[in-house]
Amino acid sequence: MADKTGLIMRITDTGFPLSEVFESIQGEGNYAGVNCLFVRFQLCNLRCPWCDTKYTWTRFSDRFDLEKADTLKQTILDRSRHHVIFTGGEPSLFRLDLLAGPDRKYHVESNGTIIPIRPLNMTLDDGVVIERDAMDEAVISQFNWVVSPKLSNSRQPMAPEAMAFWAAQPYVIFKFIAETAQDLDEIEAFVDQFQISKNQVYIGLLGTTVVSQLRPNMVDDIVRRGYHYSPRLHILLWGQAREK
């Protein structure tokens, strides 16, 4: 279990802070509606004010188990779901390539601030030190990476070098969450800056209520600008319910 003493906690290649494992549908992006196994990790390097999984932010914000790579990999293989989603928190903090196994399609939901094929040595603000080697690009290039750059409404810093890396990868889609036409303008500027194909971009609507998701004028604007609209099915069906 997580250390509650406030002392430094060190996580290396074979350690995975596991928040929860559950089955549901993918709510967003290019696999919306697909039956999936979700593997949610604790710990994140960002603090977006509208985040709906704030319980994953730190080692103190919720309970979690520190799993070994082989144990977690076997847990995934023992479940019957073909599609496996690594989410968080921020899953790219950890050696996801060590969890890949046969006959599965892996997906990663990432904030895009970390380049996975480089070694990582990062100290989070709760005193957790993450030390991992580079992920194997031959493995992770088979994953469906869903990168969610944070707009200015997140009040989080941009990571231009990491975004340039992701923009160059054919195995990535970009998922944005927008509330206003100004957010859409910001997305367009981002797409232009990093020369991203509009076919790689999915835009959903900010909010955690059914009403927040039923905004046909915003969807019309998304479509008019040439982007994919991403429904947020989990919000429409279950609101903010956990493990959905």
Burial string for 154-180 (b: 16+ CB within 10 Å, else e) reads bebebbeebbebbbeeeebbbbbbbbe
Query: Residues near 88 by Cβ (< 8 Å), separated by ≥ 6?
Result: 19, 40, 41, 42, 43, 44, 53, 56, 109
Task: Round to whole Å and give the CA distance between 56 and 171.
Answer: 26
Amino acid at 131: E
Task: Round to whole Å and give the CA distance between 43 and 56.
Answer: 5
Task: Round to whole Å and give the CA distance between 130 and 127.
Answer: 10
| DSSP-assigned letter for residue 231 | -
Residue 237 falls inside a structural domain: no
Amino acid at 135: M
Tokens at 60, concatenated: 């103190």
Residue 182 falls inside a structural domain: no
Dihedral sign computed on CA atoms, order 159, 110, 177, 49: negative
Consecutive 10-residue averages of pLDDT for the chain (244 residues): 62 94 97 98 94 94 96 95 97 98 97 97 95 97 96 86 97 96 97 96 95 97 98 93 91
Q: What is the pLDDT of residue 110?
A: 98
Answer yes or no: are the C-beta atoms of 46 and 156 closer than 8 Å: yes
pTM comes to 0.94
Please choose, from the candidates 90, 82, 78, the residue with its C-alpha nearest in 3D space to the C-alpha of residue 16: 90
Find the CATH number of the domain harbouring 156. Answer: 3.20.20.70
Q: What is the pLDDT of residue 14?
A: 87
Task: Round to whole Å and give the CA distance between 88 and 73.
Answer: 17
Amino acid at 37: L
Query: Residues near 104 by Cβ (< 8 Å), separated by ≥ 6?
Result: 76, 77, 82, 83, 84
Residue 197 falls inside a structural domain: no
Please choose, from the candidates 143, 227, 224, the residue with its C-alpha nearest in 3D space to the C-alpha of residue 177: 227
Query: Would you call 224 helix, strand, or coil by DSSP?
Result: helix
Q: How many domains does the chain have?
A: 1
Spacing of C-alpha 214 from chain mean position: 24
Question: What is the residue range of 18's domain?
Answer: 9-177
For tokens 């005193």, the residue is 127
What is the length of the chain?
Answer: 244
Answer yes or no: are the C-beta atoms of 112 and 75 closer than 8 Å: no
Q: What is the pLDDT of residue 4?
A: 52
